C-alpha cells in the first residue's frame, strides 16, 4: 500500500470506528490493530489522534455534502430540489450503519472541550444552511424558508438516530412540502 492509500485507509477505518462507538471510546491501539499498521507508522502519518479526528470530520463533510449536491442536481425543478434533501436523508437513515450526524455526535462529545471540533461542526451546519438558502433563493421563495427547512432536516437526523427508525425523513419531507407550498412562488402541488 502506497503512502497515500495508507493515509486514506487510516481515515476511513477511523471514521467507521469513531462513528460506531464514539471518538473517546476508540483508542489508538485499537485503531492500530484495525488498520494493521505499527503505532510508529500511524504517528508518522498523523502527528496525533486529534489530527486523525479532524481529517475524519473533514472527509465526512466532503462526502456528505457531495452526496447531497448530487441528489439536488438530479432533481428537475426548484421544488423537487428542495425535497431531494429529504430523500437524501431517507437513504442515509436507512443505512445499517446510521447513527446520527457525526458532527452532532462529535459536538456533544467534545464540542465543549475542543474549539476546533465546535468550529468544524458550526461550519458543516452553516454550509448546509447555505445550500438551502441558495435553493430557496433560486426558487424565488421567502428567505425564511431556508432555515425552516434546515430545522426539519436537523430534527430528522437526531430523531432518526435516537429512535433508531428512519421514518423521520418522510415526516420531515411532508412538513417541508407544506412549508414550501406556503412560501414558494410555485403554485402549491403544481409539481
Partner DNA sequence: AACTATAGGGAACGTTCGTTCTCAAAGCAA
Partner DNA sequence: TTGCTTTGAGAACGAACGTTCCCTATAGTT
Residues in touch with DNA (CB under 7 A): 24-29, 38-41, 43, 48-50
Is there binding between residue 110 and a copy of itself (CB under 8 A)? yes
Is there binding between residue 148 and a copy of itself (CB under 8 A)? yes
Contact with a copy of itself (CB under 8 A): which of 151, 185, 187, 189?
A: 151
Q: How far is CA 58 from CA 37, 43, 53, 71, 120, in A?
A: 22, 19, 9, 20, 8
Is there binding between residue 137 and a copy of itself (CB under 8 A)? no
SS3 of 179, please?
helix
Contact with a copy of itself (CB under 8 A): which of 153, 166, 184, 186?
A: 153
Contacts of residue 83, Cβ cutoff 8 Å, sequence gap at least 6? 75, 173, 176, 177, 180
**Contact string 41-80 vs a copy of itself (x = CB under 8 A):** ----------------------------------------
Rounded CA-CA distance 68/167 in Å is 19
Burial 130-149, CB ≥16 within 10 A → b, else e: ebbbebbeebebeeebbebb
The nearest distance, CB 51 to a copy of itself, in angstroms, is 20
Among DNA, a copy of itself, none, the one that 38 touches (CB under a kind-dependent 5 to 8 A) is DNA
Stretch that binds a copy of itself, among 5-13, 27-35, 54-62, 171-179 (CB under 8 A): 171-179
Rounded CA-CA distance 169/84 in Å is 11
Structure-block grid coordinates of residue 146:
431556508
Q: Which is nearer to a copy of itself, 39 or 151 (by Cβ)?
A: 151
Contacts of residue 33, Cβ cutoff 8 Å, sequence gap at least 6? none
Q: Which residues bind a copy of itself (CB under 8 A)?
A: 20-22, 24-25, 99-100, 103-113, 118, 121-122, 125-126, 144, 147-148, 150-159, 161-164, 168, 171-172, 174-175, 178-179, 182-183
Amino acid at each position: 500500500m502506497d503512502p497515500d492509500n495508507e493515509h486514506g485507509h487510516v481515515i476511513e477505518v477511523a471514521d467507521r470506528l469513531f462513528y460506531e462507538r464514539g471518538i473517546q471510546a476508540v483508542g489508538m491501539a485499537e485503531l492500530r490493530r484495525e488498520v494493521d499498521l505499527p503505532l510508529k507508522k500511524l504517528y508518522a502519518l498523523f502527528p496525533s489522534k486529534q489530527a486523525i479526528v479532524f481529517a475524519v470530520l473533514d472527509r465526512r463533510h466532503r462526502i456528505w455534502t457531495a452526496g447531497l449536491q448530487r441528489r439536488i442536481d438530479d432533481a428537475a425543478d426548484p421544488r423537487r430540489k428542495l425535497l431531494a434533501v429529504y430523500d437524501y436523508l431517507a437513504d442515509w437513515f436507512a443505512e445499517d450503519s446510521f447513527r446520527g450526524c457525526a458532527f452532532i455526535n462529535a459536538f456533544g462529545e467534545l464540542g465543549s472541550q475542543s474549539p476546533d471540533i465546535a468550529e468544524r461542526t458550526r461550519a458543516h451546519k452553516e454550509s448546509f444552511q447555505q445550500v438551502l438558502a441558495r435553493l430557496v433563493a433560486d426558487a424565488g421563495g421567502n428567505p425564511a424558508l431556508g432555515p425552516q427547512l434546515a430545522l426539519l432536516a436537523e430534527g430528522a437526523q437526531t430523531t432518526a438516530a435516537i429512535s433508531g427508525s428512519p421514518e423521520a425523513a418522510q415526516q420531515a419531507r411532508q412538513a417541508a412540502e407544506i412549508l414550501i407550498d406556503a412560501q414558494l412562488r410555485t403554485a402549491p402541488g403544481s409539481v
